[in-house]
Amino acid sequence: MDNKLIFLVDMQSFYASVEKSANPKLQDHPVVVAGDPERRSGIILAACPIAKQYDVETAEALWQAQQKCPDLIIVRPRMKLYIELSYQITQILERFTDQVEVFSVDEQFLDLTGTERLFGDRYTVAHNIQDEIQEELGVYARVGIGPNKVLAKIACDAFAKKNEQGIFELTHHHMKDTMWKLPVGKMFGVGSRMEKHFSRMGIQTIGDLANYPVQYLKKRWGINGEVLSNIANGIDYSPVSTQTHNGQKAVGHHMTLPRDYETLEDIKIVLLELSEEVAKRARAKNYRGHTLSLGLRGANVNDPTGFHRQIKLTSPTNYGMDLFHAALQLLNKHWDGLPVRSVGVTLSQLQSADVYQLSLFNPSVEKDQLSKAMDDIRKKFGQTAIVRASSLQEAGQVFDRAQKIGGHYK
């Protein structure tokens, strides 16, 4: 559908802003991030707004920029840091929706369709996103809003980047008075060669392109001609695609019980064991997860009961008790009280555990230390050297499972 609520969130002068935020002494100076500052032939990767006041531009040669601005401070790029900050921005955005697409290191799409009752109107959400990124990471974000990705992107690039509040909404309705008036070269996908070509065809503005018969464009440029015509007309059906950075999407563990468990107390015991196991596996792979799911299957094969539900954790975690509390919440809400044959706990929306430790607000230091101590003891003395007291009860499966590999006895 072409009528969603899509945001494009773009970081202003991303690399330069990150460097300034990391080093407050740079705050009031013209700063650029440039490849190989030792060589004057290096290229500017990002310029801060102060440097831009001197007409310093992205992609120009360092020596040119230094001519324009002799006091220019040149910083070597730290790509790893920028990518880590980009992950953190994704996490901030995921507070508003799980539909986040990393478009580039400093641009991310959000699909917020249907969230207005949760988080307020679109402008409130846009302001909140700006505030949270500014407060937590010290970077100024601009927000383009549209009914699809194309219009959100143009709203951001052509308008939000240039206005006071850094927010602009572009709808089909007022597209004609805004975007169509722009020179066609401002539209993404149109390079300088194509712009010249268009010019010879009498196409000067995006509006001219939008109204040019599409069959001629197709004849000349094939499918790309049609794509450009669609962009100019603000038509775009592509979804926000939420591919995570991580190769692995989830860490989980599932257990078929030795008998049907009928009481909440018994189910809670295996739930805690599963939560600890999943947390341990996530730690072993150096992940934290942001979503927990619980699956429960009933005992009667002929009358399948049970549920599979998920819940967003307050922050990414690999701490067993965090997983257990979330799983318990789901259990209390969704269990129908019938006997249970099998239980599964999964942690998803994974991210590197290291990334999170860089976060400015990290409430998990103590949890990390406790978890690490438990992992170390188990490594040294065996899997059952340290267990929850609850696992000593009959319903506990830890001791039994420690005897098995992949469900079979060793």
Q: Is residue 94 involved in binding Mg ion (CB under 5 A)?
A: no
**Residue 46: CB minimum distance to Mg ion, A:** 8
> Residue 19 Cβ, how far from Mg ion at the closest point, in Å?
14
Which residue's CB atom is positioned nearest to Mg ion? 106
- Among the candidate windows 6-14, 81-89, 124-132, 391-399, which touches Mg ion by CB under 5 A? 6-14
Q: How far is the CB of 274 from Mg ion (least distance, A)?
A: 43
Q: Which two tokens stand for residue 274?
A: 């599963």
> Cα–Cα distance between 260 and 266 in angstroms, integer?
10
Stretch near Mg ion under the rule CB under 5 A, chosen from 3-11, 63-71, 168-176, 248-256: 3-11
* CA-wise closest residue to 231 among 303, 337, 291, 148: 148
Nearer to Mg ion, 141 or 279 (CB): 141
Cβ of residue 103: shortest distance to Mg ion, in angstroms? 11
Among 19, 84, 106, 266, interactor with Mg ion by CB under 5 A: 106
**Residues in region 374-403 near Mg ion by CB under 5 A:** none
Q: Which of 107, 169, 273, 276 is catalytic?
A: 107
Give the nearer residue to Mg ion in terms of CB position, either 139 or 210.
139
- Applying CB under 5 A, the site for Mg ion has a residue count of 3
Q: What is the smallest separation between the CB atom of 83 and Mg ion, expressed in angstroms?
A: 15
Tell me the closest approach of the beta carbon of residue 129 to Mg ion, in angstroms. 15
Pair of tokens at residue 227: 């794509």
- Position of tokens 């060793």? 410
Non-local (6+) Cβ contacts of 114 within 8 A are: 5
**Is 106 labelled a binding residue?**
yes
Nearer to Mg ion, 165 or 369 (CB): 165
Active site residue 273: no
Q: Does 169 bind Mg ion (CB under 5 A)?
A: no
Nearer to Mg ion, 110 or 350 (CB): 110
Residue (58 or 383) nearer to Mg ion, CB? 58
Q: Is 10 annotated as a binding residue?
A: yes
**Residue with Cβ nearer Mg ion (10 or 84):** 10
Applying the rule CB under 5 A, the residues between 199 and 258 that interact with Mg ion are none
Stretch touching Mg ion by CB under 5 A, among 99-107, 109-117, 189-197, 244-252? 99-107
* Residue 10 lies near Mg ion (rule: CB under 5 A): yes
Residues tagged active-site: 107
Binding region for Mg ion (CB under 5 A): 10-11, 106
Question: Which residues are annotated as part of the binding site?
Answer: 10, 106
